[in-house]
Amino acid sequence: MNGMHFKVGLFALASLLLGAAFLVYLLHARGFFEDTFHLQLAAASADNVAPGVPVVFSGIEIGRVTTLGLNDNGGIVIHAEFMQRNARWLKENSSFTLDKPIVGGARIRVDSSDLDAPALPNHATMLLLSSDISKEIPVLVERVKAILANVEHLTRKDGEIVSTLANVQTMTGRMTGEYGVLEGVLGSPEKARAVTETLDKTRSLMTRLDGLALKMDGMAGKADQWLFAKDGVADSARASLRQIGVLLDDARSSLQKADALMANAVAISADVKEGTQDIAALRAEIDDAVRRANALVNEINKMWPFARDPEVKLP
Amino acid sequence: MNALAASIESLGAKLVGWFTVGYGIFAFLARALLLLIEPATWNRATFDVVIKQVYFTAVQILHVFLGYALVISWLIISIIVTTARDFGLAEFASEMTIRVLVLELLPFLTALFIALRSGSAINTEVALMQVNNELDALAHCKVPPMQFEFLPRLIGGVISVITLAGLAGLLALAMGYLAIHGAGTAGFDSYTRTIANIFDFTIVAGLLAKCALFGLAVTLIPVTAGLETPKKLFMVPVSVLRGMMRVFFAIFAIEVVSLALKYI
């Protein structure tokens, strides 16, 4: 009997201890031993927000909406409560966004970009933004409706697209005619025929031009022969050049003679002072000889086919 | 026309019978509660019987019960976690596990377990005592059966169901943590958050009340069924059969009502 009492006592003690431990754990988990942090959120609309909606930071729930109501100015005020240990994620530059996924319940997302920013004071009021996908759907539907209306307008019975398609049909119909695509583009078989005839004429013209070009080719060959063959124009030009070289040598010897004459004249002028008149006549003679030699050189230059003077360049 | 009248009559008889049974049960409960608040009830003898009752109902079967709770919890947690992962709902697995097992299934199974083991025994015992006139003899010897036979059984039943369901629930919580987060403290914070979200005051109070009602049902109904037994030995099995059917319906009704209160 004592053994039975001991077992029952042990059972009761263990159960009580476990129960008490669980109770303490539960109270700790529910934040019974710490202060509650209060936050107020100002929102444009209370849609989808209800008591119990979680406030999440990085996907982890840190608080819940407790009440919501209207303030004196008719604005929505949402009260949320956080455990003190979770309140450190709420910063002065945190943004609060209401997320309403298509599947699942709404939640308020906290984004604290700068965790070094000063912490939010208790009972602070922040703005609640909304990123409601389901709200965008009606807008989207309106736009799709407008697009569909446009498409409908375009494809109506007497619409542009229908008449365009009719035109395309007549065009493709013509394309199946005798003159194919040409008839389709030009509109009638007569015009198409005119174009074909023109093309035929052009073709014969091209044949003739071809023959002409062949003839021209032959002529060019002959000209080549005439110019560069033995005893051709090039050879005779070379001979003329040789003769010109001889002429130049003559001119140079004449000038040397004139030079000697001048030297003699100087000597004579030293001896005979009264013979000045004769020297002047002699000088005129020499000048004349030099001028003629110059003219000769000029003449040669004009005849020279490879002269560097740009004025005598051949065309 | 006669058949219709007969069926209506039998329906009326059944209704009256159910009402009588229900009235008997609640009248008995009222008497037991009245006795409970009397200071004279709380003497050493009553206390000893309560301890004996707790020993037979809870302590004696503890290892069997905990093994059974372990297996069923492990199976159901595995099913929930695997299915939740397959459907991409792993974040809801722990909440689902706790709600299904700790709040609903384990208290229900505990009540069934105790009903089958202790409830049937109580029903048989009381029926035999009734048939053998032992209860009258006890009353004649100034040992009121209500104080020394019935009330300890009710108290023992309530204590047993609450503690066993609580222990099974704690076991399931630990198993759930192991199944979802594995051995290690990494998931402790998120698991704590889930538990904190689920177990608010009304849920805990509702769970305790439900377990207490289960404990009452699995002892009170067999006792009253046993007391109803006519003084013929062959009526004892019939009495046990009726009592156990009523226990089952009562447990079922308590579970349904608790679910309705919680989720509707």
pLDDT digits (tens, 9 = 90+) for A281-302: 777 877 887 788 788 777 777 7
| DSSP conformation class of A58 | T
Residue A140 has pLDDT above 80, yes or no: yes
Maximum pairwise Cα distance, chain A: 187
A9 part of a folded domain: no
Tens digits of residue pLDDT in B84-122: 989 888 878 888 889 999 999 999 999 999 999 999 999
Q: How many Å apart are CA B55 and CA B153, to the nearest integer?
A: 11
Among chain A residues, the shortest Cα distance to B54 is held by A8
Task: Express each pLDDT in B204-260 by its tens digit.
Answer: 999 999 999 999 999 999 999 999 999 899 999 999 999 999 999 999 999 999 999
pLDDT at A269 over 80: no
Give CA–CA dist B182/B81, Å, rounded.
Answer: 12
- List % helix, strand, coil for chain A (3-state, nearest 5): 60, 15, 25
**pLDDT value for A312:** 46
**Domain for residue A11, yes or no?**
no
CB within 8 Å: A5 and B193? no
Contact B175, B75 (CB under 8 A): no
- Read off the tokens for B155: 């108290």
d(CA A296, CA A252): 11
Distance (Å, whole) CA B143 – CA B137:
9
Give the count of Cβ contacts less than 8 A between chain A and B. 46
CA B246, B249, B250: angle at the middle one, nearest 5?
A: 85
DSSP letter at B40?
G
Q: Say if residues B139 and B129 touch (Cβ distance below 8 Å).
A: no
What's the first-to-final CA gap in chain A, in angstroms?
145
Q: Specify if A15 maps to a domain.
A: no
Q: Which of B243, B231, B218, B220 is nearest to B128 (CA)?
A: B231
Domain presence at residue A5: no
Q: What is the ipTM of this complex?
A: 0.85
Query: Measured between alpha carbons, how far is B57 from B153 in angstroms, rounded to an integer?
Result: 9
A8 with B51: Cβ contact below 8 A? yes
Chain A positions in Cβ-Cβ contact with residue B192 (cut-off 8 Å): 25, 29
Flag whether A44 is in a domain. Answer: yes
Residues 39-78 of A with CB under 8 A from B: 60-61
Q: Are A40 and A93 in contact (CB under 8 A)?
A: no
Based on the fold, state whether residues A211 and A164 are members of the same structural domain: yes
Higher per-residue pLDDT: A218 or A293: A218
Do A218 and A248 belong together in one domain? no
B167: which chain A residues are within 8 Å (Cβ-Cβ)? Answer: 15, 18
Of B62, B190, B192, the CB nearest to A11: B62
Q: Do B163 and A11 touch (CB under 8 A)?
A: yes
Record: contact A7-B196, CB cut-off 8 A: no
Q: How many domains does chain A have?
A: 3
Q: What is the pLDDT of residues A55-111, one digit of tens each?
A: 988 888 888 898 888 888 888 889 998 888 888 888 888 888 888 877 778 888 888
Chain A hits for B92, Cβ within 8 Å: none
A221 phi/psi in degrees, rounded to 5: -60, -45
Cβ proximity of A117 and A32 under 8 Å: no
Please report the pLDDT score of residue A199 as a whole number.
86
Q: Which chain B residue's Cα is nearest to A64?
A: B197
Residue from the list B59, B190, B196 with its beta carbon closest to the beta carbon of A30: B196
The CA R_g of chain B, rounded to the nearest whole Å, is 22
Across the interface, whether the CB atoms of A15 and B167 are under 8 A apart is answered yes
Residue range(s) defining the domain that contains residue A223: 155-229
pLDDT, greater one: B128 or A304: B128
User: How sure is the predictor about B73, in pLDDT bands with cuts at 50, 70 and 90?
Assistant: very high
Tell me the backbone φ, ψ of residue B44, rounded to 5 degrees: -60, -40
Q: Give the pTM.
A: 0.64
List the structure tokens of B116.
């089958």
CB B147 within 8 A of CB B31: no
Position B143 pLDDT exceeds 90? no
